[in-house]
Amino acid sequence: MVAPIVNTGIQTAKYCNVAGLGVLIFDYFLTLGAEVRCTWNRRWNASRVLFVISRYMAFVAAAMTSYAAIATRANENCSRFDHASNAIHIISIVAAEGLLIIRTYAFWNQNKKILAVLLVMAAICIACAVGITQVVSNLAVPANPSDPPTSNCTFEAGRSSAIQYGFVVAYELLLMSLTVFKRYQDYRDSNSRLVRAIFQGGVRYMTAIIFISVANILIMSVVPVSYDEMMDVPQLVLHSMLASRVLFNLHESDQRMDETTLQMSTLYLA
């Protein structure tokens, strides 16, 4: 009964990842009008660069994963392709997280100490996530030399990949804690529309990322290994979709901006 379970797991993972690419394409056209209004023909700054990377590199990463899922690559060496796909995934997600860092930095009135802490913690989390995952993967039981050679193109991930999502959860909790603390320390009685947009949008975004990251951790830790890649593209797509809405919602709030003490210049695209 092992083979049917493995085949079912791999097929389920393939369907989920291809469906994730479809959702990303659908959402792109759904929000294209907002993108035109908020970003096109406007000056470039850190927020816009991160937005473009998180929005458009997600298409490359999702397309590469979908290709890996549906293509027949039994006699190929897929190591380089897989490494490139993983790197693009990481860059896209890091860019999305960068928008949340800028959002938190603005919410703290551009406190440079907070920015420095967030950047250092982000670098530590990225280095630890990648490094520890690689070390754990290398400690896996080596293949028996007498066994017949197997393809490295199987659409599966090692359980060690759950470590990366653990660091994502930890960093999201840090951002959420800082946001909630600042909200109730300095803006408890504020009725500013912009404050509400930053706080509520950020908490919703981070809660969604934490939820899907925990789901990924559980899938990689509990279910059969053939299901491991099931939430790969959905996690990437959620990062990209919500990162786009970070700026879209702020732009809409800025159009109706009322009296506020927030210094939001780092987030403006205009």
Checking if the pLDDT of 123 tops 50, the result is: yes
**Is 83 or 153 the better-scoring residue by pLDDT?**
83
Separation of alpha carbons 64 and 82, rounded Å = 9
pLDDT of residue 183: 87
pLDDT of residue 258: 47
Separation of alpha carbons 233 and 22, rounded Å = 10
Per-residue pLDDT band at 8 (split at 50, 70, 90): confident
